[in-house]
Amino acid sequence: MTDLPVRTEKKLGLLIDLDICVGCHACAVACKEWNDGGQFGPLTDEDPYGAEPMGVWFNRVHSYTVDPAVPQESGHCGASSPPAGPAGRLGLSLHFPRSCLHCEQAACVTVCPTGASYKRAEDGIVLVDYDRCIGCKLCSWACPYGAREYDQAQGVMKKCTLCVDRIYNESLPEADRQPACVLACPTGARAFGDFADPSSVVSTRSAGRDPQALMPELGYEPTNRYLPPRPRRDQTPEAKADDTLNPAELPTVLRWLDRMLSR
């Protein structure tokens, strides 16, 4: 079995804002594209144009509809129009990107019989040495987040590398030394940085938003954090009626603008 470093100087990871993630899958596609051509690629596909295409993806996006009146997942995936809740309120669409969380207490590493899975002491990134991996899948069984991917073609386990071949690549402009998923996100829902540094972008964006670790009760101490959706306005007809503006209460400039736009 494989040991974990006693401590890591850095805690590199991703901060994902669920409030502004629109579930466009740009992160998943950019990840697939970069890692097909990077030093850890290619990410193989099986029967890509068949009835049941399968393949290796480091990043996947799951979509749910959560009824604001009933705090539970409906299992409604790929929703284009959220159903109304029992109180007549629209459901909240939630898009949940999932990849390796680079846990501090990474069970995928400690169960590895060959040392192929390892956590780097210098930055906390969890990686796989393909030359040592025997494809036994113990790491996938140990990971509670489903972040491990078995490459059927190569017979090895693969996973998110935080684009380690980008973030330290000095031939790239400094602004581009970020994971491909972060660069591709059109809404800025993703950020990359060092959670151990209070001045990093992931730390400052987390301030006041109560960042959440995924299933912390399991004790694996994932590095990645999720920012929960902010509370939405009540969508009941009564609440909408209360939102109606009274032009007489607007400032002069806005009353003029309201008249112009109302013509």
The CATH number covering residue 128 comes to 3.30.70.20
Instruction: State the residue for tokens 């009933």.
Output: 70
Whether 241 is covered by a domain: the verdict is: no
Question: At residue 227, does pLDDT exceed 60?
Answer: yes
The β-bridge partners of 128 are 117
| Enclosing domain of residue 192 | 12-66+92-227
Whether 78 is covered by a domain: the verdict is: no
Q: How much is the pLDDT for 263?
A: 66
How many structural domains comprise the chain? 1
Whether 167 is covered by a domain: the verdict is: yes
Whether 258 is covered by a domain: the verdict is: no
Distance CA 15, CA 64 (A): 20
What is the tens place of the pLDDT at every residue in 53-67?
889 999 999 998 876
Overall average pLDDT of the 87-96 stretch: 72
Whether 243 is covered by a domain: the verdict is: no
Whether 166 is covered by a domain: the verdict is: yes
Report strand pairing: 12-17 vs 225-227: parallel
What value does the mean pLDDT of the chain take? 85
| Range in 64-73, 78-87, 89-98 with the lowest mean pLDDT | 78-87
Distance CA 153, CA 159 (A): 15
For residues 124, 203, 191, 215, the Cα torsion angle rounded to the nearest 10 degrees is 60
Which parts of the chain fold into alpha helices (H)?
26-37, 107-110, 138-142, 164-167, 180-184, 201-206, 237-242, 252-262
What is the tens place of the pLDDT at every residue in 103-159?
999 999 999 999 999 999 999 999 999 999 999 999 999 999 999 999 998 999 999
Q: How much is the pLDDT for 2?
A: 79
> CB of 27 within 8 A of CB of 61?
yes
Q: How much is the pLDDT for 63?
A: 92
Whether 234 is covered by a domain: the verdict is: no
In Å, how far are 94, 123, 194 from 8, measured between CA atoms?
33, 6, 11
Overall average pLDDT of the 160-175 stretch: 95
What is the tens place of the pLDDT at every residue in 195-215?
999 999 999 999 988 999 999
Q: How much is the pLDDT for 245?
A: 63
Whether 40 is covered by a domain: the verdict is: yes
